[in-house]
């Protein structure tokens, strides 16, 4: 283990005004994204879409790291450079999703995450392709009887084992415990579940002797269920999210990079921005690691057509810029209606 290597990666990934792009959709998820614009999902169409996002000119101003899917590691930009190498050349740290998806837990709707077997060997392979950090996602369903204590504990233990293996191979782990937004639950219920989940995760990380100062947390926000009546507003989401983080997350953690988890791009940006305008002293950097909330506008602008590439890249860069501003508490809702060049001037 080389703490110098881990330290160098953290330094490049914790930069004020920058966040992490999640571009690690599985083949199945990528197919859903492409189907939304009536484009067939093939290795070539997925590569074309990744190329559009990853080569958007100037994205390194707002993005410090990109989580890639394994398929993307061996694909090349239109100019013939492997995607991880291209990212490194423009100053963005390449990373990799290493979990192998979800499996049924104890015969219920609950799930655990697969992928610990052979993880060390896979990390060495990914490192040779330029990856310097990894990501592992666990999910928690809020329903009448879930999540159970058993599921919370199992996922925490697996997240901690993954993080320990990563650090042993000089790879920075992103730990992603996602409390799902699906359901009718209130923000208060989400708070209680999130608190239990995060306490268990950090207890497990401590038990595995994971170095918290070389770890990044990718949590969900404390938010009402998508189907809830009287959903909590931006102010309440920001306050409850910061409250639960202060109650559970050690101060030595360098960065918290939220997932968007089913929020609209505008919601995800507004919530992040409000966290920075609460006048709360935050011991960690608080930023974003969005997928859909960064990519959706670009996908809609592209429509699978080469003539739309520039417009799609502009849409992506605008979203990245707005989230960069939000990570500094400088986002304003009226910026949504502005062109990218106007937003950049402000």
Point out the catalytic residue in the list 176, 200, 318, 321.
176
| Three-state helix/strand/coil letters over the chain | CCHHHHHHHHHHHCCCCCEEEEECCCHHHHHHHHHCCCCCCCHHHHHHHHHHHHCCCCHHHCEEEEEECHHHHCCECCCCCEHHHHHHHCCCEEEEECCCCEEECCCCCCEEECCCCCHHHHHHHHHHCCCCEEEEEEEECCECCECCHHHHHHHHHHHHHHHHHHHHCCCEEEEEEEECCCCCCCHHHHHHHHHHHHHHHHHHHHHCCCCHHHCEECCCCCCCCCCCCCCCCHHHHHHHHHHHHHHHCCCCCCEEEECCCCCCHHHHHHHHHHHCCCCCCCCCEEEEEECHHHHHHHHHHHCCCHHHHHHHHHHHHHHHHHHHHHCCCCCCHHHHHCCHHHHHHC
Point out the catalytic residue in the list 97, 196, 218, 321.
218
280 part of the active site: no
176 part of the active site: yes
> What are the catalytic residues?
176, 218
């Amino acid at each position: 283990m080389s703490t110098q290597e881990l330290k160098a990666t953290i330094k490049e990934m914790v930069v004020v005004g920058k966040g992490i792009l999640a571009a690690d959709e599985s083949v199945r998820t990528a197919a859903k994204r492409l189907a939304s614009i009536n484009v067939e999902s093939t290795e070539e169409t997925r590569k074309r879409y990744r190329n559009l996002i990853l080569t958007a000119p100037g994205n390194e101003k707002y993005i410090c790291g990109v989580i890639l899917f394994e398929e993307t590691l061996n694909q090349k930009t239109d100019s013939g450079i492997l995607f991880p190498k291209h990212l490194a050349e423009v100053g963005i740290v390449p990373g990799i999703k290493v979990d192998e998806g979800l499996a049924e837990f104890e015969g219920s709707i609950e799930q655990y995450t697969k992928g610990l077997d052979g993880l060390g060997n896979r990390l060495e392979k990914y490192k040779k392709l330029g990856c310097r950090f990894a990501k592992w996602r666990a999910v928690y369903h809020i329903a009448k009887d879930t999540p159970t204590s058993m599921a919370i504990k199992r996922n925490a233990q697996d997240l901690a084992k993954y993080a320990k293996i990563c650090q042993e191979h000089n790879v920075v782990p992103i730990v992603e415990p996602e409390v799902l937004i699906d359901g009718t639950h209130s923000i208060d219920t989400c708070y209680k579940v999130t608190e239990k989940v995060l306490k268990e995760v950090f207890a497990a990380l401590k038990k595995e002797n994971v170095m918290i100062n070389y770890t990044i947390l990718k949590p969900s926000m404390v938010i009402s269920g998508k189907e809830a009546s009287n959903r909590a507003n931006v102010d309440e989401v920001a306050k409850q999210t910061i409250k639960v983080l202060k109650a559970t997350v050690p101060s030595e953690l360098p960065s918290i990079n939220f997932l968007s988890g089913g929020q609209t791009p505008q919601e995800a940006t507004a919530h992040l921005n409000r966290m920075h305008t609460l006048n709360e002293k935050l011991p960690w950097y608080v930023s974003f690691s969005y997928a859909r909330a960064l990519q959706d506008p670009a996908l809609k602008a592209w429509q699978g057509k080469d003539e739309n590439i520039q417009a799609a890249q502009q849409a992506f860069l605008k979203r990245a810029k707005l989230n960069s501003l939000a990570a500094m508490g400088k986002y304003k809702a009226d910026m949504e209606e502005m062109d990218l060049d106007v937003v950049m001037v402000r």
